[in-house]
Structure 1
């Protein structure tokens, strides 16, 4: 072999050797990348799930923020419209008791009162109270003809409110006969199945004890006859249960307790039902506190009949009229959206439970429900709340028992669990050992499946066979084939080492993951035990609610008449 041939052969072998090394490095890099794809893919999926959840939370928060801003803007516009359209009603309302109090102390001239009321008549062309005040001023000035004409106009505009208004004024002035006549007129227009909202004033008057003995007896008998008439209807008991159930549900908490039960809310698909059941159980405490608050402490009656009637007159004239209802409903919805921090669905759900409170006409029993459960909207006094609750105690107890039974029936029995693709179920964590075994077996199977994929494949064994073949051929064909054979076999062992290292890493990661999942399962079961305890504790309060309601009676919660002893009879 010549020198030139030896130089060429050495150069060629060096190039081939370098190429094999480069190829080996490239294959090694690709192998490392492929080995990391599995872990990166799992991490990517987890990150995508987290990002999806974060995005949905962001969208929900953004929607709530926009709804909150819109509700605040709409509320301002609605209240401006109320002020613009019905603002003059407020001026008329302010004059009502002012005229009576001015007449009591005789510090305002009759001409001034007459001029003021006639001016109100001009500024409120549709409002019933304006001609009623003109009639009152004419009556105080002994102008009989003017009083009759103004009274006729007030009756034409709103007969019921006018009759109740003058019944209260007659009682204020101590004219029992006139009070009885006006009340007879008012009662004659009433249908216990369709009462106007101002009828709560009558219940206020009865509960506050402002009527004399004969008139008070007349009102009590009429109320009893209303209840008897309604009770004679088919399905009355069922209606009352449903009605009071809706009333009690207006107090239902809507709290997400995931912050307290972090693992249970994360690893249990049943969390929505668990959270709802806990809110339902919490209703018992809210209802108990509501009723205890109504009856807690003595009621201090007004110092005299004039002050007592003035309070009722303020309630009567300050109640908004039916024509304001659409705007008032919209205003209430926006207020609820603000209270719910922009959650319009929750606000609409609350308003649907309150809708009957703003209905133009309701049954007498619905009137009692509204007065007892939502005094701010129904304009009921605390005395009326007590009387309405006491009068409805049997219906309240039945409705509460129905709700309690339905709440208990909805409590999830088997609690679903889901951790890293594994699923199981438990009632109260009593099968913890079994669940841990199942979770461990699932994770071990997943580990074994992943390890099974990390093995020498066809290409690796083909490389060994090819390398051996090249080495055999090298005896007759030269060193070039020997180098190729050695490179192939070397690549085989390098790949085998990488696979062994990858299997070791996978086994370590699987062991760590198994430990974390088992800890998560134990924490979830511990929180489930705590959840059961909290639910049982809250559910026990249902018995306290029933006992408290049973202790109430209507007679114990009516103020004595102002004509004799003014005191509050002790509550049971």
Structure 2
């Protein structure tokens, strides 16, 4: 019997052994790569979340910036259109006051005044002030026929403003009887439920005794009658309180999210609480604004002539009804720019402002608008102080209504949520998520959080722990190889079986070593993961305490505004003995 040449078999076994070794090394590398990939995925996920938050903030800020840019462009276009359509009115307005001052000095001839006034009459055929200016020029040269004709023309174009204009002009000239007749004609012709905005000039004059004793007494008496009549209607009274509620709403501040970053991310109820805090902040801003107004010194001017010049300028520079649509659009775009692109807040501000631009309003609402929007109504701080004093009961009611509105939505408990991805370790260890609220004691919350982490870590460790069952398939494979080797190659098969079992044993040992190492890392990170979550929870609680203190302080501002209202001066310029 010929001897069997075992050299090829041994060489084959050696090749199989090398391949098994190479396969085992590659499997180890795959395990390591899988671990690195897992870490990379967790890191990438966290970075992606941060990037998403930054992108959302960028998109939000870009939207605000775009809103501002659009409003800046639109504001320029509207102002250009306003100047194009009604710019010639400004010339008439400037000329009217300049004409009166020229008459005082006597340095302009009647012919010059006549020529300019007649040219303006031709250039502005619908404007009431142009024929009134012609009447002044005719009056200066004793042309009664032209004066009467021009007065009648102005009267038909705008009865109220024309009456008031000549009342002021005649008072300026010291003709008290004629001025009083024009003033009474103006007052008796008014509908207290539909006053024109020029009545703000009358209110201004009354605030500073500009019409003289008898004239101002007539105005005050008429206002008292109108107030008594109108305030018998509950709807009118409620409307005044609502105007002040809208004013308080526009005065509220904005909470910077960077001050409460943990609540922003981990408390679903934070937006609601933030809105409460912003609403309550209105009282502090209101006290600051209206205390400054109350403390503003408003002495009577020494010269009645200068005072009447100011009132005439307010009257003639008041927006004409035709211009109001443009002014409303201007108010909105300016509000967008001032609020940094916040269109929602801008609409509230603009709506509150444009109410003051209404063509007609009742006498009570007009006084309230003077108190809230003196600039839009074209009056001084003195008139504003008088209007606020006249309507301070409305403001007091509004403060209560405003406070009750946001207090009815008050919440004193915020939920705190730690999501499964609130940290990289939470993602890596399969943290299931956890929630508590600010009403639960810190001890109970931290115990609950620790138990949740204990279960998560235990499950994670159990998942990565080496199990004896892991060795089954390589041992089975080694058995198959050994059986095949013995059956086919006899003695050489034993070597092949030995190599197979050795490779399987090496793979199992290495697999267990890797699993044990991962378990050690997980156990070492368990405390770190828990502490990180506890730190987030404690930071959220600390921010909530700060927010609650801020709310309580802001909410207490109601007392300050009510105290300010209670001591408000009733009559501007008179509270100091004038």
> TM (normalized to structure 1)?
0.92
Which position in structure 2 is the counterpart of 1:438? Answer: 448
Q: Distance in 1 between matches of 2:450 and 2:27?
A: 36
Q: Distance in 1 between matches of 2:51 and 2:91?
A: 57
Q: Distance in 2 between matches of 1:301 and 1:4?
A: 132
1:371-424 deviations in Å (ceiling 9; x for gaps): 222222222211111001000000100101111222333332111212233221
Contact 2:262 2:539 in 1 (8 A): yes
Deviation at 1:97, TM superposition (A): 1.5
Contact 1:244 1:395 in 2 (8 A): yes
Contact 2:243 2:352 in 1 (8 A): no
Contact 2:193 2:362 in 1 (8 A): yes
Contact 1:209 1:558 in 2 (8 A): no
What 5-or-longer segments of structure 2 have no aligned partner? 423-432
Q: Distance in 2 between matches of 1:4 and 1:194?
A: 125
Contact 2:247 2:372 in 1 (8 A): yes
Aligned residue runs from structure 1 range 223-262, under 5 A: 223-253=223-253, 255-262=254-261
Which position in structure 2 is the counterpart of 1:152? Answer: 152
Which position in structure 1 is the counterpart of 2:435? Answer: 423
Which position in structure 2 is the counterpart of 1:315? Answer: 314
Aligned partner (choices 488, 505, 512) of residue 504 of structure 2: 488
Q: Distance in 2 between matches of 1:252 and 1:364?
A: 28
Give 3-state SS (helix, strand or coil) of 1:484's partner. Answer: helix
Q: Distance in 1 between matches of 2:524 and 2:18?
A: 36
Deviation at 1:150, TM superposition (A): 0.7
Q: Distance in 2 between matches of 1:512 and 1:3?
A: 68
Q: Distance in 1 between matches of 2:265 and 2:364?
A: 45
Q: Distance in 2 between matches of 1:202 and 1:267?
A: 57
Q: Distance in 2 between matches of 1:448 and 1:187?
A: 87
Contact 1:248 1:373 in 2 (8 A): no
Judging changes above 3 Å, is the alpha-carbon distance between structure 1 residues 69 and 237 closer, same or farther for their aligned structure 2 residues?
A: closer
Which position in structure 2 is the counterpart of 1:569? Answer: 575
Which position in structure 2 is the counterpart of 1:7? Answer: 7
Q: Distance in 2 between matches of 1:235 and 1:52?
A: 50
Which position in structure 1 is the counterpart of 2:19? Answer: 19
Judging changes above 3 Å, is the alpha-carbon distance between structure 1 residues 168 and 124 closer, same or farther for their aligned structure 2 residues?
A: same
Contact 2:281 2:555 in 1 (8 A): yes
Deviation at 1:468, TM superposition (A): 7.1
Q: Distance in 2 between matches of 1:471 and 1:82?
A: 96
Give 3-state SS (helix, strand or coil) of 1:27's partner. Answer: helix
Q: Distance in 1 between matches of 2:151 and 2:529?
A: 85
Q: Distance in 2 between matches of 1:425 and 1:96?
A: 69
Which position in structure 2 is the counterpart of 1:562? Answer: none
Which position in structure 2 is the counterpart of 1:547? Answer: 563
Q: Distance in 2 between matches of 1:161 and 1:287?
A: 34
Judging changes above 3 Å, is the alpha-carbon distance between structure 1 residues 397 and 452 closer, same or farther for their aligned structure 2 residues?
A: same
Q: Distance in 1 between matches of 2:478 and 2:249?
A: 83
1:430-485 deviations in Å (ceiling 9; x for gaps): 71222222222222222222222213468613236426746985787412122112
Judging changes above 3 Å, is the alpha-carbon distance between structure 1 residues 506 and 378 closer, same or farther for their aligned structure 2 residues?
A: farther
Q: Distance in 2 between matches of 1:257 and 1:508?
A: 38
Aligned partner (choices 515, 525, 541) of residue 509 of structure 1: 525
Deviation at 1:148, TM superposition (A): 0.9
Which position in structure 1 is the counterpart of 2:265? Answer: 266
Judging changes above 3 Å, is the alpha-carbon distance between structure 1 residues 400 and 378 closer, same or farther for their aligned structure 2 residues?
A: same
Give 3-state SS (helix, strand or coil) of 1:504's partner. Answer: helix
Q: Distance in 2 between matches of 1:491 and 1:95?
A: 103
Q: Distance in 2 between matches of 1:15 and 1:114?
A: 121
2:349 is aligned with 1:350: yes
Aligned partner (choices 450, 467, 472) of residue 462 of structure 1: 472
Contact 1:138 1:147 in 2 (8 A): yes
Q: Distance in 1 between matches of 2:2 and 2:546?
A: 91
Which position in structure 2 is the counterpart of 1:536? Answer: 552
Which position in structure 1 is the counterpart of 2:368? Answer: 369
Q: Distance in 1 between matches of 2:313 and 2:528?
A: 72
Judging changes above 3 Å, is the alpha-carbon distance between structure 1 residues 198 and 508 closer, same or farther for their aligned structure 2 residues?
A: farther
Judging changes above 3 Å, is the alpha-carbon distance between structure 1 residues 478 and 64 closer, same or farther for their aligned structure 2 residues?
A: same
Q: Distance in 2 between matches of 1:452 and 1:368?
A: 76
Give 3-state SS (helix, strand or coil) of 2:347's partner. Answer: helix
Q: Distance in 1 between matches of 2:373 and 2:35?
A: 66
CA RMSD between the two structures = 2.3
Give 3-state SS (helix, strand or coil) of 1:410's partner. Answer: coil
Deviation at 1:311, TM superposition (A): 0.7
1:467-522 deviations in Å (ceiling 9; x for gaps): 67469857874121221122122212211111111122223334222211211211
Q: Distance in 2 between matches of 1:82 and 1:184?
A: 34
1:325-379 deviations in Å (ceiling 9; x for gaps): 1221222222122212233333223223323122222222322222222222222
Judging changes above 3 Å, is the alpha-carbon distance between structure 1 residues 379 and 483 closer, same or farther for their aligned structure 2 residues?
A: same
Aligned residue runs from structure 1 range 64-463, under 5 A: 64-253=64-253, 255-419=254-418, 420=422, 421-427=433-439, 431-456=441-466, 460-463=470-473
Give 3-state SS (helix, strand or coil) of 2:258's partner. Answer: coil
Judging changes above 3 Å, is the alpha-carbon distance between structure 1 residues 248 and 178 closer, same or farther for their aligned structure 2 residues?
A: farther
Q: Distance in 2 between matches of 1:468 and 1:107?
A: 123
> TM (normalized to structure 2)?
0.91
Contact 2:170 2:178 in 1 (8 A): yes
Deviation at 1:3, TM superposition (A): 8.9
Give 3-state SS (helix, strand or coil) of 1:418's partner. Answer: strand
Deviation at 1:134, TM superposition (A): 0.8
Which position in structure 2 is the counterpart of 1:565? Answer: none
1:16-52 deviations in Å (ceiling 9; x for gaps): 1111112112222232344445444433332332222
